[in-house]
Amino acid sequence: MARRPTKRQRIEPRFEPDEPGSLDVRLSADDRAAKPSKAKPRRRKSPSSGKASPAKAKAKSNARRKRGSARKRRGGNGGSRIGRFFRKATYWSLVAGLWAFIGFVGLMGYYAAHLPPPSEWEVPKRPPNVKIVSQSGQLVANRGDTGGEAVRLEQLPAYLPEAVIAIEDRRFRSHFGIDPIGLARAVFVNLAQGRLVQGGSTLTQQLAKNLFLEPDRTLSRKMQEVVMALWLEQNFSKDQILEMYLNRVYLGAGAYGVDAAARRYFDKPARYVTLKEAATLAGLLKAPSRYAPTNSPDLAEDRARTVVLAMKDAGFISDRDAKDAIAASATVVAKSVGASNNYVADWVMDELPSFIGQIDKDVIVDTTIDMDMQRAAEEALKRKLAEQGGKLGVSQGAIVTLDRNGAVKALVGGRDYSKSQFNRAVNAHRQPGSAFKPFVYLAALENGLTPETIRVDEPVTIGKWSPKNYSRKHYGAVTLTQALSYSLNTVAAKLAYEVGPKRVVETARRLGISSPLQANPAIALGTSEVTPLEIAAAYVPLSNGGYGVVPHVIRQIRTVDGKVLYARNGDGPGRVVDPLIVGRMNRMMSETLQTGTGKKASLGERPAGGKTGTSQDFRDGWFIGYTNQLTTAVWLGNDDNSPTRRATGGSLPAEIWKETMLAEHRNVPVAALPGIVDEPVRVAEPGNAGPVPPGRIGEDQGRIVRPEPGRGPLNLLQRIFGG
């Protein structure tokens, strides 16, 4: 028997071959604490398997490596936890996204429920534009809420809408009205920057906002914008949406739509803009006032460069096109908002409803305006007022020119439209002073007097009224030609008394004066107020041979498709003055420019007639004159009716009239004034001269009186500055 081991001595199992008589301590399955239920019987190793062979050890090692690799591919023990985390995160993200989508749809449904039914939705009409053009087709002005014409997409150069798409909504052609990618990018960029840097609205959303919604920045408005954008995408093509957008978007300076903006900044229609100009316009969309080339040229240039690079990045233009566009300049036209053609446009808009009623579509108005004459009149008024206005205490003025038929060729309603839009040429009622005297003399000639009739210039009292001459002097016996030429107030008052104030009023009415006139002796000195337009029109019969005219500026009104809505026909009331009287009046009126108060207005070899006018206390200064072709009236004064510093009609108004008429008559042939030219007549006392104390005619009633230019009893001061 084997010896019992001592205390603490460990009994190890032995695996050597059994020896006879030795104790067998090998363990079997029955020796385990818990017997497995379905354990396979372990194969007993042979005595020779105590050590594995090298081949088997290598195979086991390879198997272990493969099992480790498989565990790594499955994430291993540690990796399995990360994998489970990502699987759960993905799952819950999808769940959250689904619920967010459901909430978004529900929110849209909620706000959509507060909108009218889709069947009632309708794209509002674009506000109509009125395009006003000159007699030669040049643009005078655009009027309406937009400031430009509606243009079709195919009328524009391709790079203009492409510039807008490149910088505002590059996926416009592919999204469904909302751009999730662009929205996500905008959110990420704005969060990263900590401020609003990018917007997520598509062009369709912007159009929906412009068409249907108020500009307030609320969740309700934003959700309604989304609903409307989806509706637009369902009911209109991409090209239709883009066209509506380009015609309605605000681009600064009161310009709505690309055509209005192109005209405002570059003085050309949108269809003719260059690539650089198109990029400049597209750059305005971000902030019209900030990037307007008229306000900040450098910022506008930088923004246009950004747009060009965006177009290249989007594949709309080549590298070469981009380089050329960046190197090019977008020439901004310094178009003054104070240009006088705006007075013409305002007058046209006032007249338009009386011809075609309510304007509900784009129309083109053909006018009688000659743009060369318009510019000449404007330049003359502005320059002369700048030179002498301060010295003479004159702050405002107006000019109007008409042709033989009453067509307005030029109209300047004030010194600077941007500072005052009041149209003085059409709406200012001012005292004409001595410029009203031709109607008195015309009535006298029609009553039997002649240019050679003599009246005495001397103190006179009619009732309680005692008119005075400008010079405060009297010169005795003078012909009517001389009296008119030197603007003698006493003689004019006598003549008005002779023929009767009512007859003077009737004569003025017949020639075209429509303002209220007071039929009293003082009417001879122009105490009743008139407008520059109407008194100019009343002078036209002396220019055209005696035919009355209706002053007008509109020739034709038509739609953009060519349909004629109105066309002018007829020239006026017909003959209003006998040709013989016209000839005699022109003989007298031309003397004013040769020897009288209108010498500064002389046109040299070109025959012309005219009359100065100065109201009481020098509040108004006038010169109204004409040739065979044109009639022009010039008024100067102050809007508050304050006196000027002795600015008479024969001074600054005459100078402005001359400069304007010389410019307007360039390349116009010289022509004699109309009317029958008769021989000077013998002086005779009119039978109905009336008691005009102490007026009398010359003593030698049989002599021939011939007016001699440059001679007369009046002094030099009276000739130059009188009346």
- DSSP of 39-63: PPPPPPPPGGGSS--HHHHHHHHHH
Q: Give the catalytic positions in this structure.
A: 168, 434
Q: What is the pLDDT of residue 69?
A: 55
Structure tokens at 318: 């080549």
294, 327, 360 — which closes off a domain?
A: 327
pLDDT digits (tens, 9 = 90+) for 348-378: 999 999 999 988 899 999 999 999 999 999 9
Residues 453 and 602 in one domain: yes
Tokens 């008229």 -> residue: 294
Q: Are strands 574-575 and 547-548 parallel, antiparallel or unpaired?
A: antiparallel
| Beta-strand relationship, 396-403 and 574-575 | unpaired
The verdict on residue 83 lying in a domain is: no
Backbone phi and psi for residue 515, each to the nearest 5 degrees, phi listed first: -70, 155
The per-residue pLDDT for range 6-45, each reduced to its tens digit, is 445 555 545 444 444 444 445 455 544 444 444 454 554 4
Name the 3-class secondary structure at 565. strand
Q: In the 8-state DSSP scheme, what is residue 503?
A: H
d(CA 90, CA 102): 18
Distances (CA, A) of 183 to 105, 200, 226, 256: 16, 4, 12, 27
Angle 50-53-56 from CA coordinates, rounded to 5°: 115
| Residues 486, 401 within the same domain | yes
Work out the widest C-alpha separation in the chain, in whole angstroms: 195
CATH of the domain at 256: 1.10.3810.10
pLDDT at 321: 97
Same domain, 514 and 647: yes
pLDDT value of residue 92: 79
Distance in angstroms (rounded) separating the CA atoms of residues 231 and 608: 68
Q: What confidence score (pLDDT) does residue 49 get?
A: 45
Which runs of consecutive H residues, i.e. helices, occur in 500-544? 501-511, 532-544
How many angstroms separate the CA atoms of 407 and 402, rounded? 5
- Tell whether 596 and 462 lie within a shared domain: yes
Query: How far is CA 618 from its chain centroid?
Result: 38
User: Are 564 and 634 in the same domain?
Assistant: yes
Whole-number pLDDT of residue 647:
95
- The answer to the question of residue 348 being in a domain is no
Q: Is residue 284 part of a domain?
A: yes
Using a 10 angstrom Cβ sphere, with 0-12 exposed, 13-18 middle and 19 or more buried, the burial of residue 691 is exposed
Q: What pTM did the predictor assign?
A: 0.74
Asked whether residue 500 falls in the same domain as residue 583, the answer is yes
Q: Is there a domain that residue 674 lies in?
A: yes
Domain membership of residue 437 as a residue range: 381-420+430-721
Look-up of token digits 């290249």? 312
Indicate if 286 and 396 belong to the same structural domain.
no
CA distance 476 to 694: 11
Contact at 8 Å (CB) between 227 and 115? yes
pLDDT at 96: 75
Do 576 and 510 form a contact (C-beta atoms < 8 A)?
yes
The CATH number of the domain where 506 resides is what? 3.40.710.10
User: Which residue's structure tokens are 């003698």?
Assistant: 488
**What confidence score (pLDDT) does residue 47 get?**
45
- CA–CA dist 580, 586 (Å, integer): 10
The reported pLDDT for the residue numbered 187 is 60
Same domain, 304 and 453: no
Claim to verify: residue 261 and residue 163 sit in the same structural domain = yes
Distance CA 235, CA 207 (A): 14
Q: Are residue 385 and residue 239 in the same domain, yes or no?
A: no
| Amino acid 271: pLDDT | 96
Look up tokens 């400008």; give the residue.
Answer: 470
Give the Cα separation of 280 and 302 in Å (integer): 9
User: Cβ atoms within 10 A of the Cβ of 52, count?
Assistant: 11
CA distance 64 to 58: 10
Strand order in the sheet with 139-143: 139-143, 130-133, 363-367, 554-559, 564-567
pLDDT attached to residue 200: 67
Residue 509 C-beta-side C-alpha neighbours within 13 Å: 10
Q: Classify 535 in phi/psi space as left (phi over 0), alpha (psi -120 to 50) or beta.
A: alpha
| In a domain? residue 134 | no
User: Structurally, how many domains does the chain consist of?
Assistant: 2
Residues 6+ apart with CB under 8 A from 555: 135, 366, 367, 368, 407, 567, 568
Q: What are the CA-CA distances from residue 166 to residues 163, 210, 279 (Å)?
A: 5, 20, 10
Percentage helix, strand, coil, to 5, in the chain? 45, 10, 45
At 720, the amino acid letter reads: I
Gap between the Cα atoms of 241 and 204, Å rounded? 7
Considering the domain architecture, whether residues 322 and 385 belong to the same structural domain is answered as no
CA pair distance 535, 429, nearest whole angstrom: 11
In this prediction, the residues of the chain whose per-residue pLDDT falls under 50 are: 1-7, 13, 15-25, 27, 31-39, 41, 44-50, 75-76, 683-723
Q: Is residue 386 part of a domain?
A: yes
Residue 147 has a pLDDT of: 82
Clarify whether residues 295 and 436 are in a common domain.
Answer: no
Alpha helices in 267-407 (DSSP H): 275-283, 297-313, 319-327, 341-356, 371-384, 390-392
d(CA 457, CA 521): 16
Q: What's the DSSP call for residue 380?
A: H
Main-chain dihedrals φ then ψ at residue 411, nearest 5 degrees: -150, 115
Residue 226 to residues 185, 198, 600, Cα–Cα distance (Å): 18, 18, 70
Question: 21 to each of 14, 27, 28, 252, how far by Cα in Å?
Answer: 14, 18, 20, 116
> Does residue 366 form part of some domain?
no
Can you say whether residue 418 is alpha, beta or left, with left for phi > 0 and alpha for psi between -120 and 50 degrees? Answer: alpha
In a domain, 321, yes or no: yes
